[in-house]
Homo-oligomer: A and B are copies of this chain.
């Protein structure tokens, strides 16, 4: 079997999915409501198959789920998957919001 971009197993994790600005815009679009592939694509300049591909990538890594109704496919966000990203940045939170963040930064820097 010939392997191509569609059949090959590629690296697909949440962070890689978020790396593309179009995909982030899709997620923000869907934050308020679910939409069909066509309605989503209407918000972008890219060709429809391009948006379709982005939707597939987001779905593969579980950031989106789909539900077919007739010939339309509705896409909606899987909030739980976003949690993975939130958990990654959690250890850094104190670095931008704590009162003592500057002091802490210095202490870390000089390994006190």
Q: Which residues does A use to contact B, with CB under 8 Å?
A: 1-4, 8-10, 13, 15-16, 18-19, 21-22, 24-25, 27-28, 31-34, 43-45, 67, 74, 76-77, 79-80, 82-83, 85-86, 88-89, 91-97, 101, 105, 108-111
A42 vs chain B, min Cβ distance (A): 9
Once the chains bind, are A77 and B95 in contact (CB under 8 Å)?
Answer: yes
Number of copies of this kind of chain in the complex: 2
- Which secondary structure characterizes the binding site on chain A? helix
Q: Are B8 and A15 neighbours in the complex by a CB distance under 8 Å?
A: no
Cα separation A96 to B83 with both chains bound (whole Å) = 7
Would A82 and B74 count as touching, CB distance under 8 A?
Answer: no
- List the 9 shortest-distance A-B pairs measured between CB atoms, nearest first: A79-B95, A19-B19, A8-B21, A79-B96, A82-B92, A83-B96, A34-B109, A16-B19, A80-B96
Residues of B within 8 A of A1 (CB): 43
